[in-house]
Structure 1
Amino acid sequence: MTAFFDYPKSAAFGRVVPKNKIYEHAGANAALKDLFVREVDQIVWSYKLAPETINLPATKTVIEIQVFRVSLKTTTLDRDVLRAIDRAVPFPLIFELTHNGRVKLAAAYKRPSEADSTRRVIGDYFETQWLANDTPRTPFPLALDMSSLYERLLSPLVTAQTERLVPGMGEAPQAPFTAAPGVAPVSLEARIALAEAIKAKARDIERIRARIAREKQFNKRVAINAELRAAKQELEWLTAGDPFGAVTDK
C-alpha cells in the first residue's frame, strides 16, 4: 500500500508556516537558517488530524498528527531541516515534499520521552520515492484512535524504504502488524527498529564493497570478502521470516 493518502477535507488547514517561527522554536543557528534559505521555498500546514477534525479520540502518546507540505528549491533536502521542523512542532508530523511537479513523503517516528513526558524523541526518517503530483491517493485508513492512525500512516513509509534497500521483502501488513495465529502482533516500535537495523546493515555492506574495490592486495581482499559474506548473512537474518523472535502461544 502506498503512503500517499487522501486526507479528509474536514482536516484541511492550509496555513503557511513562516520560517522564522521554525527558527524560534527549534533554536536554529546560522548554518541551519542557511539550509532553510537554500533548500526550502515554502512550508504549508496542510492538514490537522485531530479529534475535532476527524472524530478519532486522542491517546496519551498521540494527541494530534500534522501534515506539512514543504515546497523545495532543489531535489535534495538536508535531514536537519526536517528535524528542525519536527523539534519546533510538538505533535507527530507527516511531510509531503514537493519539487518540480513531483512529491515524496517523509516522516520520523516521534514519541514522548520516557525520562521527560514534555519532550519528544525523534527517530530516523523514512521516505518514499518521488511520485508525480497527480498520483492517485490511497483512501484514508480506518483507525480506532489517534495512536492506531499514526501507525497506519507510518507503516507504508517504513515498508517502502525497507523494500528499496532489500528488494523482494514484499508488502508489509498494515499496523498493527499482524502475525501468524498464536503469535503476538508486531508493534510499530519493533518494526521501525528492524527497518533501521536493515538500513544500517545495508550501509555496512556498501562500505565493505567499496573497500574491496579499493584494495589491491589479494590476501586483504580475501579477508574483506569474508567480512562481506558475514554482513550479507546478517542482513539475510534480519529479513528472515521471524526476525523479531516471536514466540507462539502454548
Structure 2
Amino acid sequence: MFNLPKSTLIQKVVPKNAFDAYTNTKQKKAFAEKIQRITWLNKISFETINLKDAEIKEIQIFKVELKEKIEINDIVNIIDKAIPYHIIFLIYFNNEFYISTSVKHLHPNDEDKAVIDYTFKSVWLSIDNNPYTVELKNDLDWVFQNFCEQLKTVNTNASNIWELVQTQKQDDSLRKEIEKVKSEIARCKQFNIKVELNIKLKRLEKSLTSNFKSQN
C-alpha cells in the first residue's frame, strides 16, 4: 500500500483473541462477527528505518479485513488502547478500504495501555485509488504528523501534532453545533425564533467554510 522498505516488513497474523483481556463479552462477539483477519504489516522505528524518535517511538501498520462493509470504530479503539504504539489501520472489505489512525499518549497509571486523544479517518476508497503516503523523512514524530495532516479536514499549518488535534476538535465541535441548530430550525414553530436560528446557522456555516479542507 505505501511501498515501505523491506526492513519494515512484519507480515504477521494477529489472533483476534489476543485482545480478549481488553474486551467484554459483547466486544469479543463483535471481533468474531465483523473481522475476518488482522495482520501486522509493518513496523516503522529507529531499528527498521534509522529515523530518530522523540515522543513517538514506533509506528505500526495493521491490515484489518472485514466480513462486511462497515466501519469498526469501537473495535479499532480497543486495539489502539491495547497497544502503546501509534498504529495506522488499513481496513479492507473486498476491493475497498478506509484508513484510521489515532493520536494517543500512554496511560499515566499503566504504560502498557494508551489513551486516545483524537482519531483521523478517511472515507472509503478503492484499493486502486490510494492518495495517502507514508513519507520517511526527518524523524518519527514528523512522519506521523505528516500522515495525519493528509487526513485532516481543516486548513491549518500546525506546528505540532497537538496543535493539529486541537484545531480538528474545534472543527468537529462546529459541525456538531451546525447539526444541532438545523434540528432546532426543523422543530421550531415560532417565526421570530426561526429567523434568529437561521442567522445563527449562516454564521456557523461561514465559520466552517473558512476552515474546511475537503478530503481527496
Q: Would you say same fold, with TM above 0.5?
A: yes
1:7 — aligned with what?
A: 4
| 1:126 is the counterpart of 2:99 | no
Superposed, 1:1-250 pairs within 5 Å as: 5-24=2-21, 27-59=22-54, 61-112=55-106, 115-116=108-109, 118=111, 119-135=113-129, 140-158=134-152, 162=153, 169=155, 177=157, 186-235=159-208, 239=211
Q: Between 42-51 and 138-147, report the one with greater CA deviation.
A: 138-147
SS of aligned partner of 1:77:
coil
Q: Give the CA deviation at 1:67.
A: 0.4
Q: Is the 8 A contact 2:81 2:115 kept in 1?
A: no
Distance 1:211 1:97, change over 3 A: same
1:243 — aligned with what?
A: none
Segments of structure 1 that go 5 or more residues without pairing to the other structure are 164-168, 178-184, 241-250
Q: Is the 8 A contact 2:41 2:62 kept in 1?
A: yes
CA RMSD of aligned residues (A): 2.5
Distance 1:232 1:135 in 2: 31
Distance 1:137 1:126 in 2: 15
Q: Residue by residue, what CA displacement relative to the aligned partner does 1:41-71 show, whole Å, maximum 9, x if unpaired? A: 1111011112221122333x22111100011
SS of aligned partner of 2:37:
strand
Letter in 1 for 2:4: Y
Q: Give the CA deviation at 1:233.
A: 4.8
Q: Between 11-20 and 206-215, report the one with greater CA deviation.
A: 206-215
Q: Give the CA deviation at 1:106.
A: 0.8
Distance 1:136 1:224, change over 3 A: closer
Segments of structure 2 that go 5 or more residues without pairing to the other structure are none
Distance 1:117 1:230, change over 3 A: farther
Q: Is the 8 A contact 2:104 2:118 kept in 1?
A: no
Distance 2:164 2:130 in 1: 27
TM-score, normalised to structure 2's length? 0.85
TM-score, normalised to structure 1's length? 0.75
Q: Is the 8 A contact 1:6 1:138 kept in 2?
A: no
Q: Is the 8 A contact 2:56 2:141 kept in 1?
A: yes
Letter in 2 for 1:213: A
Q: Give the CA deviation at 1:139.
A: 5.7
Identity value in percent: 28
Q: Residue by residue, what CA displacement relative to the aligned partner does 1:158-206 show, whole Å, maximum 9, x if unpaired? A: 2xxx16xxxxx5xx6xxxx4xxxxxxx6222111211121122112102
Letter in 2 for 1:129: V
Structure whose residues are more often strand by fraction:
2
